[in-house]
């Protein structure tokens, strides 16, 4: 008898294919745009917690967008994001193309996690093109993980963290999708938000 977790995971189970990349990319765009333009006025919570809740949501949306964006990049370049089921003989190490895993059983309810996607990105893109990209992606990962696990009343704000993420995204959108991205995650007081793709 399946556990509750197994039962619910099966509701979302899917072996992803290259054509799924566009949906992953569109949803990444959505989360990033929401993060860029989210204002205190959009947050429905007590006045005392508005800024904290807004910033938590911004970081969470940036982190979710980053995982979806990286999965879109892997899929669009012909790499599978589903894990291989245990005990499969001749299974290649991640990352692997759809062709490399043809005939090998993959888990339809497990995909590679954000950390693995970041660590292996230099195997599917030119390492030289990733200069300054990895740092921004790692920051986004920490943002997502932090917001999913703890709440702090304050922290040492460093605006360069957001600039590093923006720089990484501009590079990836250009390199992987041939899109010109203008992005500014408005966090500091008076900072003007931006999100445009051309």
Looking at residue 135, what is its pLDDT? 96
Looking at residue 127, what is its pLDDT? 87
**What angle (nearest 5°) sits at the alpha carbon of residue 151, between those of residues 149 and 154?**
140
pTM of the model: 0.96
Query: What are 42's two structure tokens?
Result: 């959009």
Looking at residue 189, what is its pLDDT? 87
Q: Does residue 89 carry a pLDDT above 90?
A: no
How many CA within 13 A on the CB side of residue 183? 27
Q: What is the mean pLDDT of residues 84-98?
A: 94
pLDDT tens for each residue of 111-136: 999 999 999 999 999 988 898 899 99
How many CA within 13 A on the CB side of residue 104? 21
Q: What is the mean pLDDT of residues 25-41?
A: 97
pLDDT tens for each residue of 163-173: 999 999 999 99
In a domain? residue 6: no
Looking at residue 43, what is its pLDDT? 96
* Cross-strand partners of 152: none
In a domain? residue 1: no
In a domain? residue 52: yes
Q: What is the mean pLDDT of residues 33-54?
A: 96
In a domain? residue 3: no
Tokens 């949906």 -> residue: 23
Q: Is residue 136 within 8 Å of 167, Cβ to Cβ?
A: yes
What's the number of domains the chain is made of?
1
Domain that holds residue 52: 16-197
Mean pLDDT score across all residues of the chain: 96
In a domain? residue 5: no
In a domain? residue 2: no
Distance, CA of 183 to CA of 26 (rounded, Å)? 15
Q: Does residue 85 carry a pLDDT above 90?
A: yes
In a domain? residue 4: no
Looking at residue 145, what is its pLDDT? 96
Q: Does residue 154 carry a pLDDT above 90?
A: no
pLDDT range class, residue 88, cuts 50, 70, 90: confident
Q: Does residue 21 carry a pLDDT above 90?
A: yes
In a domain? residue 118: yes
Q: Is residue 171 within 8 Å of 93, Cβ to Cβ?
A: no
Q: Does residue 7 carry a pLDDT above 90?
A: yes
Q: Does residue 147 carry a pLDDT above 90?
A: yes
């Amino acid at each position: 008898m399946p556990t509750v977790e197994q039962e619910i995971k099966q509701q979302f189970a899917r072996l992803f294919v290259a054509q799924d990349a566009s949906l992953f990319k569109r949803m990444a765009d959505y989360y990033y745009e929401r993060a860029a333009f989210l204002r205190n006025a959009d947050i429905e919570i007590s006045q005392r917690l508005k800024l904290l809740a807004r910033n938590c949501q911004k970081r969470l949306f940036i982190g979710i967008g980053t995982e979806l964006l990286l999965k879109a990049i892997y899929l669009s370049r012909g790499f599978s994001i589903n894990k291989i089921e245990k005990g499969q003989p001749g299974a290649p190490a991640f990352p692997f193309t759809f062709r490399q895993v043809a005939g090998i059983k993959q888990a339809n309810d497990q995909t590679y996690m954000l950390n693995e996607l970041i660590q292996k990105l230099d195997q599917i893109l030119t390492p030289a093109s990733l200069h300054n990209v990895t740092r921004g992606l790692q920051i986004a990962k920490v943002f997502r993980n932090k917001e999913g696990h703890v709440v702090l009343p304050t922290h040492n704000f460093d605006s360069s963290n957001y600039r590093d993420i923006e720089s990484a995204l501009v590079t990836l959108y250009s390199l992987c999708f041939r899109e010109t991205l203008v992005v500014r995650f408005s966090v500091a007081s008076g900072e003007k938000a931006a999100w445009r793709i051309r």
